[in-house]
A = this chain, B = another copy of it.
Amino acid sequence: MPEFFNVLPPQRALQALLDAMPPPAPGTEEVAVDEALGRITAHDLCAAEELPAFPRATVDGYSLRAADTFGASEGLPAYFTVVGEVLMGHPAEVSVFRGETAGAYTGGMLAHNADAVVMVEHTQQVDANTIEVVRPVAPGENVVQPGEDIRRGEAILPRGHLLRPQDLGGLTALGITRVKVTRRPRVAILSMGDEVVSPDVTPAPGQIRDINSYTVAAQVSRAGGEPLALGIVGDDYEEQLTAARKGLKRADALVLSAGSSVSSRDMTADIINALGEPGVLVHGLSIRPGKPAILGLVEGKPAFGLPGNPVSAMIVFDLVVRPTLYRLAGCVHPPEPSIAWAALTLDIASAPGREDYVPVQVYGNGHGELMAEPVFGKSNLIFTLIRADGLVQVPLDKAGLYAGETVPVRLF
């Protein structure tokens, strides 16, 4: 078929697009830390202070000078005078000298002059003001030193980091309550085809309801982007071009869900070429399903033509659009897809020179093993993916996979 003049494996196609894209220069915005989960840092962040800011006890017990405990044992305990305690949340107001100690609490400060904490379990109360210590402690034992968590000036998080719950905790620990993050990439989504109608319409014979606007929008959200649904346009070149041009003006990337006939697919390529330079970069992927996919670049903005078939569209999105969105957001290490290893229950045939993606159901076999059972049915039907838990990839260089093989399942 003429349009498949430079069919590429998805990884090479993606690389060709990323290489052609200008360096990411996402806009930034400042958000409160408690709204920053999943966002991407816009700058390197350094610690303006050290943590902890004071020596903290890691156990409940008594702070003292470690040297005074050397040689202590059950048979020959060391005796200490309790000269006070340091309460939680309070500064140390007591100092300890030779043979003196002060009560200490987990997370609390040590007394001045103390360099270690002895656990309460290794002490005995002798009288109101005296304890015996039955085990020696080393200097620094049961203590977190100032700066041991993070030193002043040390890097906290690099630019392009996807913020996780613990990262937010690290920021608040340092008093950082607002953080500069990159703007979510906005992705314009246009569903095309004379046969496609809105889901709230009863389709006439020959028509189908729009699926791809919704699956793609959800995939955009999941990849940290902001979907901008442009609606449905029929198979009219001028109308499609106008809608695509308007959409791309308001967005950072464009996804066209093409009609499924060859002529509609050709039209998608023409539209991406007409939108601007350089236009179509890759026309066709060596995968099944998903072959009739287009990757392009228009004045620095990525533009994709996804197959009309919803299963193909979702797989192509996952393989090439998703990583592109993370790149647009300035994310340096996008999250890897979730993988489960499972044993195939059936042979899967493929053809060398093509990556196949086969929907599978994953289930435990009752003996602690995961099994992956291919979902029967034509692979271009949306309910195939709904019945599935993930996809098994048959690599480019293999003619198939055998029942019993343990394979990675891309949870989907």
Contact = CB atoms under 8 A, between A and B. Distances in A.
A214 B34 contact: yes
A258 B207 CA distance: 60
Interface in A239-276: 259-264
B383 A89 contact: no
30 contacts: A1-B121, A51-B382, A52-B208, A86-B206, A87-B206, A88-B194, A88-B259, A88-B261, A88-B264, A89-B196, A89-B234, A106-B261, A106-B308, A107-B208, A107-B261, A107-B308, A120-B262, A156-B383, A166-B314, A169-B214, A169-B310, A170-B382, A170-B386, A171-B199, A173-B199, A173-B211, A173-B310, A174-B209, A338-B339, A339-B339
B260 A107 contact: yes
A185 to B, nearest CB: 17
Contact of A91 (B121, B193, B205, B215): B205
Nearest to A333: B389
A366 to B, nearest CB: 16
Contacts of A176: 199
A380 interface: yes
Nearest to A52: B208
A378 interface: yes
A182 to B, nearest CB: 18
Interface residues of A, number: 100
6 nearest CB pairs, A to B: A89-B194, A165-B218, A89-B195, A91-B205, A172-B199, A105-B261
Contacts of A120: 262
Interface in A193-229: 193-196, 199-219, 221-222, 229
Contacts of A309: 107
Contact of A149 (B156, B235, B383): B383
Interface stretch (A53-61, A278-286, A295-303, A345-353): A53-61
A265 to B, nearest CB: 9
B88 A165 contact: no
Contacts of A12: none
A308 to B, nearest CB: 6
Given A261-B105, A261-B107, A386 B175 contact: no
A214 B33 CA distance: 8
Nearest to A87: B194
B37 A90 contact: no
B210 A172 contact: yes
Contacts of A229: 34
A98 to B, nearest CB: 24
A269 B218 CA distance: 42
Contacts of A386: 156-157, 166-167, 170
A385 interface: yes
Given A60-B261, A89-B196, A170-B383, 18 more contacts: A34-B217, A37-B218, A37-B222, A88-B193, A89-B194, A90-B194, A90-B206, A105-B261, A106-B261, A106-B308, A107-B208, A144-B378, A148-B381, A149-B384, A164-B218, A166-B314, A173-B209, A175-B209
Interface string A105-149: 111110000000000110000000000000000000000100011
Given A175-B209, A177-B199, A340 B340 contact: no
B215 A51 contact: no
Contacts of A4: none
A87 B235 CA distance: 11
A136 to B, nearest CB: 20
A336 interface: yes
Most buried by B among A1, A173, A204, A264: A173
Nearest to A218: B165
Nearest to A211: B169
